[in-house]
Amino acid sequence: MSMKLLFSPLLKKYDTKRVFESVNSFPDQAQQAFVETRRLRLPKFIKVKRVVLAGMGGSALGAHVVLSACAESLKAPIIIINDYKLPAWVDSETLVILASYSGTTEETLAAYKFAKKAKAKLLVICAGGSLANIAKTHKIPSYIFRPVHNPSDQPRIGLGYAVFGLIGLLQKTGLLELGSKEIQETLAFTKKIGRQMNLGVASSPAAKMSQKLLQRAVLVAGAEHLSGAAHVIANQLNETAKTFATWFAVPELNHHLMEGLTHPKQNIRNTTFLILNSSLYAPRIQKRMRLTKEIIQRNGAKVVEYKARAKTRLSQAIELLIFGGNLTLGLGLQYHINPADIKWVNYFKHKLGH
């Protein structure tokens, strides 16, 4: 059966909240975010010694991608905080970026109070809500976007805004030395790779991979500039495909996880390792990837692999995001579920609110 024949009826029946449209609008999200952040008037944070990004779930995923894919271009370290509180070392030489797609994330709003008390410098990235009101009231430099290219309204599927909004903010404030030419080339590449990954295309690598992950727990393994993408794909496997998944980075994985492949046997037999590979990895990492694959297979687990094809580290990371968005959507549809629904997250938030 062709990919188009497989997914067309599933999309019609289960994708009632337009996830397919959002996934395939990544290039438009990215273009909008980068163009709009370039127009902002923002201060140069010359004396900033460190950057904290406070955000949860899908709202923090962009930071994971930027932190790994742009590591060699960052002018200050970035620490991602997924909590209510900020570390005691946050001070006036710290830039705290408050990221919340909805603008209502309670942990991020709590982190704002800590940042304000510590007299940290502040930036905001959100689509509205209480956080946008705080930014406007207190004149906090911010990127408040209208997510017109994310009709599903799911943060994890609005990553074009999260990634390129953050890239734009960091570049504009002097904290990221990444040339506009490379960014523009990456934006152009997103359109090309988006067409190739689309679930309606017969040769889509994402569609084909989704069939290999049916009824499997998934462990995603990546390294260097693709570690952030590994994190994103695991998150989307959880939320979009309702699949048990997690991720590990190489070389850290090689120092413990390999010994954990022995028991329980049933778990290993039901697990597929998705290895994200790249010719841009350091030679030592490439060798580690080959050995890691061998050891996983010798322990009886299945391995599937995707090798990034783009020419730069940033473009490869974006390639993996588009691959992962389509992969997890395709897998979710094959389980006959609405890929936008997050009933247990919503149930938890409802109960937590009482």
Residue 87 in domain: yes
Does 165 score more than 90 pLDDT?
yes
> Nearest CA to 42 among 137, 125, 113, 110?
125
Q: Which amino acid is at 303?
A: V
pLDDT band, residue 1 (cuts 50/70/90): low
Report if residue 198 sits inside a domain.
no
Alpha-carbon gap, residue 224 to 282, rounded angstroms: 8
Query: Is 222 inside any structural domain?
Result: yes
Residues 125 and 46 grouped into a single domain: yes
Does residue 354 surpass a pLDDT of 90?
no
Domain count, the chain: 2
Residue 135 lies in a domain: yes
Q: Taking the C-alpha atoms of 311, 314, 318 and 319 in order, what is their torsion angle to the nearest 10 degrees?
A: 20
Tokens of 35: 């163009």
Residues 94 and 234 occupy one common structural domain: no
- Same domain for 165 and 72: yes
**Which CATH number goes with the domain that contains 269?**
3.40.50.10490
Q: Where would I find the beta strands (DSSP E) of the chain?
A: 50-54, 78-81, 94-100, 121-126, 142-144, 217-223, 245-250, 271-277, 302-307
Q: Tell me whether residue 37 is in a domain.
A: yes
- Using the predicted structure, report yes or no on whether residue 211 has a pLDDT greater than 80: yes
150 phi, psi to nearest 5 deg: -135, 70
Residues 152 and 273 in one domain: no
List the one residue out of 205, 166, 164, 171 whose CA is nearest residue 188. Answer: 164
Tell me the pLDDT tens digit for each residue of 68-109: 999 999 999 999 999 999 999 999 999 999 999 999 999 999
Q: Give residue-wise pLDDT tens across range 287-314.
A: 999 999 999 999 999 999 999 999 999 9
CA 116/CA 91 separation, integer angstroms: 9
Whether residues 67 and 171 fall in one domain = yes
Which helix (H) or strand (E) covers residue 14, if one does? helix 3-14
Question: Cβ neighbours of residue 349 under 8 Å, at least 6 residues apart?
Answer: none
Arithmetic mean of pLDDT over the chain:
96
Average pLDDT rounded to a whole number, residues 9-32: 97
110, pLDDT greater than 80: yes
pLDDT at residue 14, rounded to an integer: 98
How far the first Cα of the chain sits from its last, in Å, is 48
Q: Specify whether 327 is located in the same domain as 252.
A: yes
Q: For 115-120, what is the mean pLDDT?
A: 98
Same-domain status, 222 and 171:
no
Last residue of a domain, which of 143, 163, 178?
178
| Residue 21 and residue 164 in one domain | yes
Bond preceding residue 205 cis, omega within 30 of 0: no
pLDDT of residue 4: 66
Distant-in-sequence, close-in-space partners of 318: CB < 8 Å, separation ≥ 6: 30, 69, 163, 186, 189, 190, 193, 310
Please confirm whether the linkage preceding 43 is cis (ω < 30° from 0). no
Query: Looking at the structure, do residues 226 and 154 belong to the same domain, yes or no?
Result: no
Residue 85 lies in a domain: yes
- Same domain, yes or no: 312 and 236: yes
pLDDT digits (tens, 9 = 90+) for 260-288: 999 999 999 999 999 999 999 999 999 99
**Could you tell me if 222 and 295 lie in one domain?**
yes
pLDDT tens per residue, range 218-237: 999 999 999 999 999 999 99
pLDDT tens track for 133-148: 999 999 999 999 999 9
The model's confidence at residue 46, banded by pLDDT at 50, 70 and 90, is confident
- What's the rounded Cα separation, in Å, for the pair 76 and 265? 44
What is the model's pLDDT at position 240? 98
Spell out the alpha helix ranges (H) of 118-245. 129-137, 159-172, 180-197, 205-212, 227-239
pLDDT the model gives residue 38: 95
- Percent of the chain exceeding pLDDT 90 equals 96
- For residue 180, what pLDDT is reported? 86
Mean pLDDT of 111-127: 98
pLDDT of residue 2: 64
Domain that holds residue 229: 203-334
The β-bridge relationship of strands 50-54 and 78-81 is parallel
Arithmetic mean of pLDDT, 322-328: 98
342-346 average pLDDT score: 96
Q: Are 36 and 172 contained in the same domain?
A: yes
Question: Which residues are CB-neighbours of 343 under 8 A, at least 6 positions away?
Answer: none
Q: Is 130 exposed, middle or buried (0-12, 13-18, 19+ CB in 10 A)?
A: middle
Give the residue among 23, 1, 3, 21 at the shortest CA–CA distance from 209.
3
> In whole angstroms, how far apart are CA 42 and each of 82, 174, 280?
25, 10, 34
Residue 294 lies in a domain: yes
Would 186 be classed as within a structural domain?
Answer: no
Q: Which of 27, 14, 29 is nearest to 329 (CA)?
A: 14
